[in-house]
């Protein structure tokens, strides 16, 4: 079977106000899109082990801010070393190209004319209120928007962000 990438996002049970160590934030839900099967999946905390094979069989892992956030949080659950994964972090790629960080929603709005369906802090409330369907949907929506942004960049060799004077292009 040919190895293809996955796109990931996860939400946590706690914020950095609660714990400074990402490994203590706890995963409430992990969502991924698998290019190999053209399917998306969500895993609540007690199901995270079922996601390991997707990570291990992916050619690389795509996400937004995954080097600084998602993967360090995931490491608390994963028995191997996350450093062994090949990773494409869209946020880090942008930071290297333009010298600063941009919000995912800003890129999605400028490039795809869409918006995120919520905010990460709402996901913590969904978890606390046991609204697991809303939590899964929010996280999976972020994965699919990240995938769409990545696919746009690959196809068009550029993505956009908004500035006070209009759209600016980032060559991919």
The Cα 73–Cα 159 span in angstroms is 28
Q: Give the tens place of pLDDT for each residue, 58-84.
A: 999 999 999 999 999 999 999 999 999
DSSP state of 36: T
Q: For position 19, what pLDDT does the model report?
A: 87
Q: For position 120, what pLDDT does the model report?
A: 74
C-alpha neighbours within 13 Å on the C-beta side of residue 125: 6
Q: Give the tens place of pLDDT for each residue, 117-139.
A: 777 788 999 999 999 999 999 99
Is residue 139 classed exposed, middle or buried when 0-12, 13-18 and 19+ CB atoms within 10 A define those classes? buried
Q: For position 121, what pLDDT does the model report?
A: 80
Yes or no: say if 160 and 111 are a contact pair by the CB < 8 Å rule: yes
> Which residues in the chain land under pLDDT 50?
none
């Amino acid at each position: 079977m040919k190895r293809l990438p996955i796109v990931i996002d996860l939400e946590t049970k706690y914020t950095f106000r609660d714990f400074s160590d990402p490994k203590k934030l706890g995963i409430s839900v992990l969502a991924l899109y698998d290019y190999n099967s053209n399917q998306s999946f969500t895993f609540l905390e007690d199901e995270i082990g079922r996601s390991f094979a997707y990570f291990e069989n992916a050619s690389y892992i795509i996400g937004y801010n995954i080097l600084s956030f998602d993967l360090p949080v995931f490491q608390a659950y994963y028995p191997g070393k996350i450093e062994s994964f090949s990773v494409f972090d869209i946020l880090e790629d942008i930071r290297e190209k333009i010298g600063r960080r941009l919000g995912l929603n800003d890129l999605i709005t400028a490039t795809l004319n869409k918006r995120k369906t919520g905010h990460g802090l709402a996901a913590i409330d969904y978890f606390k209120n046991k609204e697991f369907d809303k939590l899964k949907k929010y996280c999976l929506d972020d994965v699919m928007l990240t995938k769409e942004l990545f696919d746009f960049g690959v196809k068009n060799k550029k993505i956009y962000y908004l500035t006070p004077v209009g759209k600016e292009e980032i060559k991919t």
